[in-house]
C-alpha cells in the first residue's frame, strides 16, 4: 500500500512538473510573443527584447574601447565575466542560490539588441551567492571613435533575488526598479579603478516611470545613457612601473 501511495504521489508530481514546464516555458512565452507583437514597431532603438520579442531592459550605459580593454577594465574594477549558459553553468548558479555559496561568473539570461544576443556580460556579487548581484550586458556596435575603437552599448540592472517571472512563471532573477542607480554604479566602479578617462551622457529611451522588463519587473529611469571612454591599453601599460635592468 505504501509503495502504491509513493508511486501515485510521484506520478502526480511528474504531471505537475510537466504541466508547469509546458505552461511556463512554452505556452506563456508564445502568448506574450503574440500579445506584444504589435509593439515591435514602437520599441525604442535603446530597448532590448527577450528572445520571444518581449520588451526587456533598456540600454543605459556605454563604453568605448576594444574587447581586451573591456575585459581588463572590469577585471581591474572587481567584476567577473559571466559564463555562457550551459547545463553545467545553470546547475552551478542553481546550487549557488540554493546553498548560499559564491558563483562569481554565473551566467546571465539572454537579451537581444537589434536582433543580437549580448556580446559580453559582467557581474559582481552583492552577497554570498548569485541570488543578489550587479550585472551588465554589452553589445558591440559599428560606431568607432577616432582611434578606431568601438562603442559598446549596455544594459545594467541589479538582481535583487530569484523568483518566478510575473509574465511566464519561469524561474528568473528579479531586478531592482531603480536601474539608474545600477548604471551609475557601473560607471563609478570603473572610475574608481582608474580605467575611464572621461564620461559623457546621451539620450536613451527617455524618462520612464512605469517600465516593465521581460520578466514583468517594474523599473523607472531618467532615460539617459552614461558613456565612458576606457583608458587605452597602451596608455595603461605606459603608466605601469617598468622593471629595471637588474630586476629579476
Note whether residue 120 is domain-resident: yes
Instruction: Assess if residue 211 is contained within a domain.
Output: yes
DSSP letter, residue 23: I
pLDDT for the residue numbered 228: 97
Give residue 192's pLDDT. 98
Q: Is 181's pLDDT higher than 60? A: yes
For residues 236 and 214, what is the distance between their CA atoms, to the nearest angstrom?
39
Please report whether residue 5 resides in a domain: no
Residue 128, in any domain of the structure: yes
Instruction: Report CA dihedral (97, 104, 195, 187) to the nearest 10 degrees.
Output: -10
In 3-state terms the chain splits into helix, strand, coil percentages (rounded to 5) of: 35, 30, 35
Distance CA 68, CA 26 (A): 38
Query: Cα 243 to chain center, whole Å?
Result: 39
Instruction: Please indicate, yes or no, if residue 122 is contained in any of the structural domains.
Output: yes
State which residues form the domain around 80.
36-237
DSSP state of 25: I
**Does residue 3 lie in a domain region?**
no
Greater confidence, 183 or 20? Answer: 183
Number of domains within the chain = 1
Q: Is the pTM of this model over 0.85?
A: no
Sign of the C-alpha dihedral computed for residues 185, 186, 189 and 191 taken in this order: negative
User: Is 62 contained in some domain?
Assistant: yes
Confidence of residue 237 (pLDDT cuts 50, 70, 90): low
- Structural domain includes residue 12: no
Amino acid at each position: 500500500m505504501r509503495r502504491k501511495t509513493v508511486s501515485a504521489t510521484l506520478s502526480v508530481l511528474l504531471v505537475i512538473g510537466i504541466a508547469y514546464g509546458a505552461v511556463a516555458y512554452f505556452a506563456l512565452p508564445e502568448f506574450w510573443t503574440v500579445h506584444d507583437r504589435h509593439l515591435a514597431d514602437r520599441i525604442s532603438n535603446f530597448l532590448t527584447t527577450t528572445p520571444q520579442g518581449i520588451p526587456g531592459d533598456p540600454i543605459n550605459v556605454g563604453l568605448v574601447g576594444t574587447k581586451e580593454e573591456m575585459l581588463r577594465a572590469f577585471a581591474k574594477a572587481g567584476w567577473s565575466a559571466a559564463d555562457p549558459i550551459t547545463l553545467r553553468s545553470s546547475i552551478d548558479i542553481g546550487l549557488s542560490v540554493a546553498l548560499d555559496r559564491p558563483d562569481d561568473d554565473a551566467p546571465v539570461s539572454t537579451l537581444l539588441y537589434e536582433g543580437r544576443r549580448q556580446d559580453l556580460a559582467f557581474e559582481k556579487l552583492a552577497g554570498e551567492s548569485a541570488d543578489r548581484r550587479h550585472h551588465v550586458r554589452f553589445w558591440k556596435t559599428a560606431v568607432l571613435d577616432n582611434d578606431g575603437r568601438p562603442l559598446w552599448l549596455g544594459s545594467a540592472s541589479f538582481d535583487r533575488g530569484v523568483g518566478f517571472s510575473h509574465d511566464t512563471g519561469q524561474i528568473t532573477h528579479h531586478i531592482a526598479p531603480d536601474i539608474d542607480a545600477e548604471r551609475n554604479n557601473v560607471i563609478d566602479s570603473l572610475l574608481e579603478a582608474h580605467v575611464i578617462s572621461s564620461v559623457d551622457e546621451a539620450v536613451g529611451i527617455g524618462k520612464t516611470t512605469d517600465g516593465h522588463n521581460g520578466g514583468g519587473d517594474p523599473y523607472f529611469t531618467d532615460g539617459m545613457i552614461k558613456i565612458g571612454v576606457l583608458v587605452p591599453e597602451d596608455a595603461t601599460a605606459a603608466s605601469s612601473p617598468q622593471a629595471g635592468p637588474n630586476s629579476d
